[in-house]
A = this chain, B = another copy of it.
Amino acid sequence: MQRLKPKGRISETRLRVRYAETDAMGIVHHSSYIPWFELGRSDWLREAGLPYSEFEKMGYYLTVTEVCARYYHPAVYDEMVTVYTWVEEVRSRAVTLSYDVRDEQDRRLVMACTRHVCITHDGKPARLPDALYDVLKAQIEA
């Protein structure tokens, strides 16, 4: 979370906060944001022309090796939030994405990043297949 400046293409995922995502503090539970980041990168990849479900069918997973999230302001039930997603860094075997979650007043709720490595379906580390590497590289430099 060192760099907060988005770069390359940024996707926008809009979602409405679910009651099930709240906790007894009356706000969204901190673990409930994590699947939102996943939604964000799903949308980023789909818009880049390579849905993650297709990537999986090629025999790979992007397994999560790190998640960091900083919480600025709590989201509450029923509000609309936007997850901004971009690719922070691409390596031959790893990808880092960043997320900026905002409310309707464009107030920052959460900043996060996730790091992923490419593995085959039997769990072996692998180089990112060209189909993914090229898409990521093109977009990050766009």
A interface residues with partner B (beta carbon < 8 Å): 16, 18-27, 29-31, 34-35, 38-39, 42, 51-53, 61, 63-71, 74, 76-78
- Contacting residues, chain B, for A67 (C-beta < 8 A): 30, 67-69, 71
Closest residue of chain B to A64 (Cβ to Cβ) is: B30
- Contacting residues, chain B, for A25 (C-beta < 8 A): 61, 63
Closest residue of chain B to A67 (Cβ to Cβ) is: B69
Q: Quick check: A24 and B77 within 8 Å, CB to CB?
A: yes
A36 to chain B, nearest CB (A): 9
A135 to chain B, nearest CB (A): 17
Complex: how many Å from CA A23 to CA B27?
Answer: 8
- Contacting residues, chain B, for A74 (C-beta < 8 A): 63
- Contacting residues, chain B, for A20 (C-beta < 8 A): 23, 29, 31, 34-35, 38
